[in-house]
């Protein structure tokens, strides 16, 4: 892909970010009595949680806002009561659980019928069972020890079910599961085997700056997590692999494969990940800083500070020296990269360049090293996002005041012909004229963008 640039630019400005002529600064005066102490956690404060949590409870549990808050209060009350009863009942305690839409009913099981009045006096419902929680926990521990010697692939999950007063084993082969329990020394009466097709697997994070391996050999670094049509993945350097190249993660777990790659000319690529891996909006700080969050991709201007994360040399910082640079490697010339004085070494390729919380690009190449210093070039991240129709991953959901999803960023200078994404739609910068009246309200004030149907790079004229 060429890097032709138009002569006119479109400046997108969402609003003033500072005030001119202000001579003083506001300084908070210390409280003579010292910092305020947070209120103790109690039933009165149990519902004081972030709105995002309440909204998630409403969405996933089908609750109203009031019900979500009441469920949190009930959760606190039942936890306190269950804890008290567990101490009082001692060896006769057989577990507890809640029921009801807002977890309003607490149930407590006991092996001693004489203790039921004690339970109901605390506002809970009493259930008399044959095995104590200690008995069931001991039975599960025997399964744990047997699995430590040889884990049963047919029975991947087991747990203490206090409502059933059994240890439950989930298995695709019930007969083998019962044999496993018997060999572990568990009384068959203590075990309930339930047929299940569950196949648990671990999940790993796609984090900027982390290592990955190509075809099980060479190593590069993740740039930034992205998504495309619901598929997670990451953007990285084009010289790290070709379409079809398989990848494994920092832990050598199978990860995915290259879907697109451009090098030389450009130096970007994207890898689609399999179900073992999840995108995260973070960059590895390698212990130098807390892993920075990624919230957008506003371009840092010449002279701006910028930092890099890579799997060989970790975290290093410097400044942006030049935008829109062309550099010739032994394999050919790459145009449109950004020059920096941040050091890098082999294996850092593809890793994250970030300024604050704004993704800048992926490490391409350079000269020098991190002992003597050097010059490093990065491929701007927005070009790769546009080329492959990717969305920079900035989290599973955004609070109302956060920026919308996509590669568009307020305050960014776009050149004529540039394409950006905004909440699932694509827009092309056309200069001073607006050809279609279709852009969303957020763009009408800019009068610079035109909504276009761009399902992928092949659809661009």
Q: Do 301 and 282 meet the contact criterion of CB atoms below 8 Å apart?
A: no
Whole-number Cα distances in Å, 89 to 138, 150, 443: 18, 36, 65
Give residue 117's region: left, alpha or beta (phi > 0; psi -120 to 50).
alpha
Cis amide bond preceding 264, omega within 30: yes
Give the active site residues: 239, 267, 349
């Amino acid at each position: 892909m060429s890097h032709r640039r138009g002569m006119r630019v479109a400046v997108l400005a969402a609003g003033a970010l500072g005030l001119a002529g202000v001579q003083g600064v506001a300084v908070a005066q210390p409280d003579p009595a010292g910092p305020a102490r947070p209120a103790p956690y109690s039933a009165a404060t149990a519902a004081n949680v972030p709105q995002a949590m309440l909204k998630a409870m409403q969405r996933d549990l089908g609750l109203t806002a009031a019900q979500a808050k009441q469920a949190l209060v009930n959760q606190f009350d039942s936890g306190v009561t269950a804890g008290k009863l567990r101490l009082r009942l001692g060896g006769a305690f057989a577990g507890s659980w809640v029921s009801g839409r807002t977890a309003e009913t607490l149930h407590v099981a006991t092996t001693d019928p004489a203790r039921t009045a004690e339970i109901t006096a605390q506002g809970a419902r009493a259930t008399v069972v044959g095995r104590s929680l200690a008995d069931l926990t001991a039975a599960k521990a025997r399964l744990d020890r047997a699995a430590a010697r040889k884990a049963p692939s047919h029975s991947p999950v087991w747990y203490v079910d206090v409502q059933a007063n059994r240890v439950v084993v989930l298995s695709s082969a019930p007969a083998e599961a019962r044999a496993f329990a018997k060999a572990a020394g568990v009384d068959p009466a203590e075990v309930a085997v339930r047929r299940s097709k569950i196949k648990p697997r671990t999940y790993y994070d796609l984090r900027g700056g982390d290592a990955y391996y190509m075809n099980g050999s060479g190593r590069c670094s993740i740039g930034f997590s992205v998504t495309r049509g619901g598929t997670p993945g990451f953007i990285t350097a084009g010289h790290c692999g070709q379409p079809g190249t398989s990848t494994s993660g920092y832990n050598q777990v199978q990860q995915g494969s290259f879907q697109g790659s451009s090098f030389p000319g450009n130096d970007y690529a994207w890898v689609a990940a399999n179900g073992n891996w999840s995108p995260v909006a973070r960059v590895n700080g390698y212990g130098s800083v807390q892993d920075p969050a990624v919230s957008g991709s506003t371009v840092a201007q010449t002279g701006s500070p910028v930092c890099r994360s890579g799997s060989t040399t970790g975290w290093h910082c410097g400044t942006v020296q030049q935008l829109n640079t062309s550099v010739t490697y032994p394999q050919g010339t790459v145009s449109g990269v950004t020059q920096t004085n941040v050091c890098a070494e082999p294996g850092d390729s593809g890793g994250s360049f970030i300024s604050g919380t704004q993704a800048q690009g992926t490490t391409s190449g350079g000269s020098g090293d991190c002992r003597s210093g050097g010059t490093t070039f990065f491929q701007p991240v927005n070009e790769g996002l546009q080329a492959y129709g990717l969305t920079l991953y900035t989290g599973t959901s955004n609070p109302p005041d956060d920026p919308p999803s996509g590669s568009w960023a307020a305050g960014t200078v776009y050149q004529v012909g540039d394409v950006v994404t905004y909440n699932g739609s694509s827009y092309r910068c056309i200069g001073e004229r607006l050809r279609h009246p279709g852009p969303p309200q957020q763009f009408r004030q800019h009068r610079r963008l035109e909504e276009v149907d761009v399902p992928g790079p092949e659809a661009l004229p």
